[in-house]
Homo-oligomer: A and B are copies of this chain.
Amino acid sequence: MNAPLALVQASRPPDAIASCPARLGWMVGSPPPPERQIRFADGSAYRFPQLRWSFAHLPSLVPTAVVPRGCGPAWPLPRAERDDVDDLAFTPLHGGTAMSWAASLAANYTDAIVVLHRGRIVHERYFGVMAPERLHTALSVTKGVLGLLAEVLIADGQLDRAAPVGLLVPELAATGFGDASVGQLLDMSTALDYSEDYADPGSGIWAHAAAGGVLPRPPGWQGPDGFRAYLRTIARAGEHGRVFAYRTVNTDALAWVLEAVTGQPLAPLLSQRLWQPLGAEHDARLSIDSQGVAFAGGGLNTTLRDLARLGELLRLGGVRDGRRIVPAAAVQRLQHSAEPPVRVRRIDAPMAGWRYRSMWWATHNRHRAFMARGVHGQALYIDPAAEMVIARYASHPLPPNALSDPTSLPAWHALAEHLIADPA
């Protein structure tokens, strides 16, 4: 058992009800009393239970760039709510007694969840301070959006999967990214002198966050200023293309590539290629560093339903209302692959057999489900066999999804089986 798991069991953080951010009254008052204030600068924003409020208020805490929805109509999501979801029973991973769907939402510290079946909302819940029109951080689900965007450009012939990164972004030529291919960034099979261990204060992920201003900088910070200055410090360690290792910096390097080949900053690029044609109902927002560079590895904030719309677009193979929004090849790529897998390092047990492809997790289960995941429980789960899409935003006390998976993955699969058996 790794350190965070031991920690959470030892310290027993307050449960979903006790930590409910609406109940705790964060930032309520004019001004809020000092003990109910949450600020970015003093680090309180990312402490539990404060993060349950912060995850739904990031643009109130840090600078963000808009990803405009454009001016067209939103893609309608008809409602067809079912009364048989809350009581659906499933068995959590690692054994234990049966649990109801409704109980799992509290167990996971769910902030909001929506289930689409055949494009209709069959189940939708909001908790705490989350609401239909509120933006919630997607954390590493952002990577899935970037992966899709890259696959769109590849399918359109604007980007070459085999091209070396250093050729497309000369500033990265002399770094560990220089001779990696775009495809290796996408599948996170680069070999870099960089670690992403959340439990190790000296790991690269914290330096990356400090450079980009995602977290307050340690006192006396002398490190790189900005995501891209940090990327330029990363050396190679080994041979690219051999081992899968989940590293956020790959996505930030990918964003640099996308901006270089299109000549557009990420926010308007994402708007133009995905958010507008998708028919998003609300503008999304991307966290940015002091130089305006987006946090591509985890900075997207969206409403729950807009995230679900993206999932529905993928479920439909890239077509919305009979109009192709995303090339079919791009969607297929996220879902599965005939290529032999690279060796997998550090995959949690419930994900055995899964593959990380273009910044998506392909489960290769019987339903060919695939998903984008972010720490603390962010998820976009697409089950093609069940014609089901689940978008979930959450604020689990600790980052590892291994803490949420046991009460999430089997619940979602059980609901998928139920929808197949009883499509209603």
Task: Give me the interface of A with B, judged by CB distance under 8 Å.
Answer: 27-28, 30-32, 37-41, 57, 59-66, 68-71, 73, 131-135, 169, 226, 228-229, 256, 259-260, 265, 271, 281-283, 285, 288, 290-293
Q: Is the CB of A290 within 8 A of B228?
A: no
Most B CB within 10 A of own CB, among A37, A64, A282, A291: A291
What residues of chain B lie closer than 8 Å to A228, measured between beta carbons? 30-31
**With A60-B288, A288-B60 given, is the CB distance from A71 to B30 under 8 Å?**
no
Number of copies of this chain that the complex holds:
2
What residues of chain B lie closer than 8 Å to A73, measured between beta carbons? 73
| Bound CA–CA A285/B40 (angstroms) | 18
Q: Is the CB of A71 within 8 A of B283?
A: no
Subset of 7 A-B contacts with CB under 8 Å: A27-B291, A30-B256, A59-B65, A59-B285, A66-B135, A71-B281, A73-B73
Q: Is the CB of B133 within 8 A of A71?
A: yes
Report the minimum CB–CB distance from A283 to chain B (whole Å).
Answer: 6
What residues of chain B lie closer than 8 Å to A291, measured between beta carbons? 27, 31-32, 37
The 8 A-B pairs of least Cβ separation, nearest first, read A68-B133, A31-B291, A27-B292, A30-B259, A60-B65, A31-B228, A60-B63, A31-B293
Residue from the list B63, B66, B260, B285 in contact with A61, Cβ < 8 A = B63
**With A59-B59, A60-B292, A292-B37 given, is the CB distance from A66 to B134 under 8 Å?**
yes
Q: Is the CB of A282 within 8 A of B283?
A: yes
Closest chain B residue to A259, Cβ basis: B30
| Bound CA–CA A133/B271 (angstroms) | 11
What residues of chain B lie closer than 8 Å to A259, measured between beta carbons? 30
What residues of chain B lie closer than 8 Å to A283, measured between beta carbons? 133, 282-283
